Amino acid sequence: MIDDAASAILNSFRDLPDFSAFEAFASALWQNEAAVMVGAGFSRVCTRETDSPIPPLWSTFKTAMEAALGYVQGTGPDALRLAQEYQTLHGENGMDQLIRRLIADSQWEPGPLHKQLLEFPWRDVLTTNWDTLLERTKPQTPDRIYSCVRTVQDIAHRAQPRIVKLHGSMPSHKPFIFTEDDYRTYPVRFAPFVNLAQQVMLEHDLCLIGFSGVDPNFLAWSGWVRDTLNVSARRIRLVGVLKLSPVSRALLERRNVTPIDLAPLVKDIHRDEQQERALELLFAALLASKPPSPYAWSKGPDKFSQSAVAKDEDRPTRAEVAKAWAKERSTYPGWIVGPNRETHQLRYSFPTVRNTAEPAEAHLRFSLERIWRHRTAGIWLNLEDMRDADTHFESAEQNLTKREKVDLCASIAAEWRRYQKWDEWTRWMVRLETIESSQATLHHAYETGQRALLDWDDEIVLKAAIALKSDEPIWMMRRAGLLATLFCHREAAELYQAALLGIRQKLLSAPKSAWLTSLEGWAAMFHRVSHSALSDDHFSFPEDESDETRMRYVAARADPWDTISRLEVRASERIDRNRSDAEQWKLSFKSGRYSPGGTRRLGGDDECPFYGLLELIERTGAPEHIASFNVFSTRLETAYRAITKHDEGDLLTFFARYRGSEKKILDRIIPRMQVARLSDPAVQHFLSVIPRRIDRLSILRDRFGAENHLVFLLELLARVVVRASATRALEVFQWIVNLLNRSTLSWISYSACGAILEGAVEAMEADERQKAMDLALHLKTPGEAGAQGIERDWPEVFDDFSEADAQKFDVSAHNAARINSLIALVRDGAKLDRGRALKRLHIFHRAGKLTEDQTKSLDTAIWARREEGGWPSDTELHPWIFLELPGKAGAEALFIEKIVGGVVSGQIGHEILMNLRAGLDRTEAVIPKEALVSCVKSCLGWTPASTEEKSPMIRDLLGDGVHDQATGREIGEVLARSLLPRLEAEDLPEDVARLLKAPEKLPHIPSLAATAFQVSRLWPDHQSVAFKQIRYAMASREPSSVYPTFIAVKQVIKNASADANFPRDIKELLLHACEQRTQPGLSSTLNLLGDMFERGQLNGDDIERLSSALPHVLNEYRYDQKNLEVPAMAELPTVRREVHRLSKMLSHHCSELEQLKAELDEDPLPEVRFLK
């Protein structure tokens, strides 16, 4: 309706004789080439009280002065002569009093027309008025703020736009230009004002409002213009209710003044109201003449929103809809990424069309237009449109321009790529390739590169980038984007820089181009983030964009951050929605009430933040990660998590496009459960493409930015390799060993390489493990490889092999030579090499694989270098290990002195207790019972360091909390496994016995539940209390209490001979935990039940209960399970392993378990599949 009113006003102006002059002036105004001079008549539109005087005109002053000077009204001379006579008679003060009496400035306020006037884009506002209405007008917005020039001295210090008071200003800026002498001497006395006005008139069209054709101010100023500027001045427009005679009009024309007489528009209005109404119409017409913004998109109303139940004949045809949509597309300003506010409406392009036969062209054009609309809106393309276009393309393509065909083929091919429908993709790529145009060639190469990114085919990506030969900035940016994915950062940065320079050169000729401005915004952003790749300074930045440049992006609705922020918000909202939808239960505020949670949504979403972000990256040629800048990597991961229901295709797409290095992403996106769910083709794909990518990155000349991503890929491979076949795992193992031996990797990749080696060994079977052990034996130590950086991260994989692997190992001559070189490293090597060599030799010594000479040499090499305390130095090995190496006698003496003696003396800590436990299991030396009892007393007397007087910050910095937890765990284990089994009740003092019988008195040692069996053994009358402790600890659901309990239960099982002797309450506790799938510790529960079955401690009813529970356990512990808590998720593979073990044991008793056994025999994870 507003547009209709504006059109009506503008149409009324078209009937004016002076419309052409108005049109020319309006054009100048909206091109910022107009100024205005305001006369006395305009002050009459002020706001005033009814008893306040009306702002005077010249005629008002003339009447007052005639009366004061004795003239009969209307018989006096002209106004300027009258003012001169009045000043002569009454003096300067009298003249001043007259002006102040008639101009009651303090009683007037600016009116609405004053505000409207100053909202127009005048370059300057000149006025001959003495009142202050203009400068007191407060603008509605800060977009137009005027400075005020009241004196000649102000001219040099006031910025445009200005309100220039040419003739003085109330209350005290004098003189007030009024008399004949004032006007005669004005050009000399106020030459700067005259020069300023002349400059304004030279540079701008001048509009005069509030003047009449006989106004002395108007006559004087127009005369000066005629005399001084002559023909060089631009046109002056005198606007108002003029009612000029032909002669007056001709006189004005001679003075370079073009009248715009609005009298015909207000002829039916009372004469006192004509001027104000004319100004209202003038301002409205000027607003209606404002050209549309080059950044506005006028789409018009939706003409095709008929109801689906409308009569068929009332519905539009496809051709009609396509024609209307094509018209809207033709007016699209050209943003490379349309602002959401402008494009949001396009997502609702689903008119109900007439059910009638239409030619192929209508179908094809309808599909073309809606595909363009949906792609511009950033939503999924309509599958029906793509299939319809496919059906009719060959028969109607001749009706499309080359550009339309290119856009259609490229858009549909890109969409089928997102669906990974390769037959459809190929068909549209063939069509695109047959179009004879440079744009078709470029789009084809670019789409080929995008497909290659999904395939991890770096060679094809590089070929596609090379093929994008164009001087057009957008193709330079897209080429740079492809190169950035290959970590060719310098080449990409050069292209972004060249593209930005090219865009800005083009903008000089088309500064209002939405296409170029939006392109500039993205190019400037990409240039900024890639700038450091242009130099050796990896942390350099270009100069900040000016405020004016940034405001251009905002004005053009082309600020990249608007688009990025919208996608971020949408991803965050979708993540929250998905989390809410997935909630299993909803808690009510009312006591005892809850209801099923989650939301069931009908249909899918029309957009996906993840694929929307990928589309943005592809369209703009954005670098996801470049130089030291994470541009979109983190955003891509967030957008991936916003996908409502991920499938494997989404996962593969994410890893194919991701170029970041945040390893925490792997924990969120591909935990062990997700690895287990991967299809075999996906696993083979990763195992094939990741090593190939790493090989390429490892030999890059400039690896800055690529190194961290290389580590990320290694970490990803370390997860996937556990799914490899035994043969493939060995190949990966050998590949990593070769990489390490070649020393082509940076130190930051050492840990990830170690994880791959470990995962590969997990996936191997016996034969492959033998070959891998051979490779591991010959793997260089850090010193041999010349490892840099954090050398201790250098992989040492020998710990991943079992004693059985070592027993089977064949010591060939080649391997014997390597063993000798390792002994030499133990003797002469650096600290880290000496320790690593000892680790490998320790395994071979235990397996009896060393010759007598080698054993002697190793003995000498170990003990030749000792620390002050007597232990071998420079090994970084736990002391207990030396009990299994040559020189055991000396090690046992040291063990008793340093480890046992240390604990006896009160040195309680996780490390010494672990060495005590491991050493007692391995030593053959006799430990005095007094020493063992003292060790028990020291353990029970331990108190956490965190209970001492330390601030929380200091405790955190020192790691006291973590250390205390580890020590607390170890105390229960060393007591239960190593100390108490060597003692009898009579060996223990009463105070020690009391503490062992009442562990609740030592709440800071929750692991004392591990001693329950030993307590019941030492004091049989205390058995019921001890077993109650087991029940309470398991029921606590607290891991620090539950897991130690299993030590006690295992000892119960080991020491009970058969079912008849087994404590029924312990058995019931374990069976119940299995049936209820109780966590934490379900896998340990199942393991203990398996041990009980092997020892004949389960009767028929027990076996029946256990067999019935296993299918339910396995069903709950599926790899696609989403409702498990973190402890249960962590145990999921081990629970499945124990179910596998039990199903093998019990299948003869329950044939239904054969199916479980068969399923778990093929389990994707090796720890479940391989039962050791």
**Rounded CA separation 32/9 (Å):** 23
DSSP assignment string, 310-325 = S-GGGSPPHHHHHHHH
End-to-end CA distance of the chain: 82
* Percent share of the chain, pLDDT over 90: 68
> In this predicted structure, what is the pLDDT of residue 597?
74
Q: Which of 283-292, 578-587, 779-788, 961-970 has the lowest mean pLDDT?
A: 578-587
| Residue 621 backbone zone (phi > 0: left; psi -120 to 50: alpha; other: beta) | left
- Which tens digits make up the pLDDT trace of 695-721? 999 988 777 778 999 999 999 999 999
Q: Tell me if 168 sits within 8 A of 94, measured CB to CB.
A: no
> In this predicted structure, what is the pLDDT of residue 215?
63
Per-residue pLDDT band for 954 (boundaries 50, 70, 90) equals: very low
- Which tens digits make up the pLDDT trace of 506-539? 999 999 999 999 999 999 999 999 999 988 776 7
> In this predicted structure, what is the pLDDT of residue 383?
94
- Which tens digits make up the pLDDT trace of 133-189? 999 998 877 778 899 999 999 999 898 899 999 999 998 888 888 888 988 888 889
Beta-carbon contacts of residue 851 (< 8 Å; ≥ 6 apart): 816
- Which tens digits make up the pLDDT trace of 348-376? 878 888 888 999 999 999 999 999 999 99
> In this predicted structure, what is the pLDDT of residue 187?
86
Please give the C-alpha separations between residue 181 and each of 67, 82, 84, in angstroms, as whole numbers. 21, 11, 7
Does the pLDDT at position 1056 exceed 90? no
**Rounded CA separation 792/819 (Å):** 21
DSSP type of residue 583:
-
Coil, helix or strand for 626?
strand
Average pLDDT, the chain: 90
Q: Which of 225-239, 264-278, 769-783 has the lowest mean pLDDT?
A: 225-239
Q: Which of 69-78, 93-102, 465-474 has the lowest mean pLDDT?
A: 69-78
**Rounded CA separation 413/432 (Å):** 9
Residue with tokens 């062992």: 996
Per-residue pLDDT band for 845 (boundaries 50, 70, 90) equals: very high
Q: Which of 331-335, 439-443, 702-706, 846-850 has the lowest mean pLDDT?
A: 702-706
Q: What would the two tokens of residue 622 be? A: 């954005």
For the residues 898-922, what does the mean pLDDT come to?
A: 94
Task: Give the DSSP H/E element, type plus range, for residue 189.
Answer: helix 180-189
Per-residue pLDDT band for 1 (boundaries 50, 70, 90) equals: very low
Q: At how many degrees (to 10) do helices 1023-1035 and 1064-1075 cross?
A: 10
**Rounded CA separation 1168/1159 (Å):** 11
Coil, helix or strand for 260?
strand
Does the pLDDT at position 779 exceed 70? yes
- Which tens digits make up the pLDDT trace of 1125-1149? 888 888 999 999 999 999 999 988 8
**Rounded CA separation 200/826 (Å):** 93
> In this predicted structure, what is the pLDDT of residue 438?
96
DSSP assignment string, 760-781 = HHHH--HHHHHHHHHHHHHSPP
Please give the C-alpha separations between residue 341 and each of 296, 337, 338, 552, 726, in angstroms, as whole numbers. 11, 12, 8, 18, 56
Q: What would the two tokens of residue 102 be? A: 């008639």
Going by C-alpha positions, the residue among 40, 13, 43, 24 that lies closest to residue 283 is 13
Q: What would the two tokens of residue 602 be? A: 């009908």
DSSP assignment string, 528-545 = HHHGGGGSS-TT--PPPP
Q: Tell me if 503 sits within 8 A of 473, measured CB to CB.
A: yes
Does the pLDDT at position 2 exceed 50? no
| Residue 668 backbone zone (phi > 0: left; psi -120 to 50: alpha; other: beta) | alpha
The alpha-carbon radius of gyration of the chain (Å, integer) is: 45
- Which tens digits make up the pLDDT trace of 716-752? 999 999 999 999 999 999 999 999 988 788 889 999 9
Residue with tokens 């340990």: 1084
> In this predicted structure, what is the pLDDT of residue 78?
85
For the residues 389-413, what does the mean pLDDT come to?
A: 96
DSSP type of residue 358:
-
Q: At how many degrees (to 10) do helices 271-288 and 2-14 cross?
A: 110
DSSP type of residue 899:
I
Number of residues written out for the chain: 1172
Does the pLDDT at position 123 exceed 90? yes
H and E: helices and strands count for the chain: 54, 13
User: Taking the model in full, what pTM does it have?
Assistant: 0.86
Going by C-alpha positions, the residue among 1059, 1157, 1063, 1069 that lies closest to residue 1107 is 1157
- Which tens digits make up the pLDDT trace of 260-309? 999 999 999 999 899 999 999 999 999 999 998 889 898 776 777 655 66
Q: What would the two tokens of residue 267 be? A: 């002829």
Single-letter residue type at 595? S
> In this predicted structure, what is the pLDDT of residue 503?
97
Bigger pLDDT: 118 or 227?
Answer: 118
Does the pLDDT at position 322 exceed 90? yes
At 716, phi and psi to the nearest 5? -65, -45
